[in-house]
Structure 1
Amino acid sequence: MSYNAPPPAYPPPGQGYPPPGQGYPPPAPPAGYPPMGYPPQDAGAYPPPPPPAPETKSRGDGFLKGCCAALCCCCLLDACF
């Protein structure tokens, strides 16, 4: 049994990318941005950094004393009533 049919005709593969030398144009900068090269390189340096934050100081153990006082009050009220 011999089968001598011609192969099916397929279209040639298409190109997935632009041919070499024909790239996409660069995207335009978004609106609201200054033009390229602005400000000039000799316009000055960045603004100085903000001063360091002051060191935090302990305010004492007032919270702990308040919690202990509330706990004692609750215990005394529970014992009395």
Structure 2
Amino acid sequence: MSSSTKSASAAYPPIPYSTAPAPAPAGYPMRSDAGDQNPARVPVETKTKGDGFWKGCCAALCCCCMLDACF
């Protein structure tokens, strides 16, 4: 009984390996090497959002209790 074996490289060709960096996804902001290295930054303003979240939670909880009581 004879068996023929092939080398693993013939069955699985080598995967091409690249050392180049992968391109950025479309729409991803890129850094410009030709432009200003330290652009002017826009000041950040923070605002309080109020208590709308808690009012909504209480209203939803009240509705659930009323529906549970009615049905």
- Return the structure number with greater helix share: 2
TM over 0.5: no
TM-score normalised per structure 2: 0.41
Larger Rg: 1
The alignment's TM-score, normalised by the length of structure 1, stands at 0.37
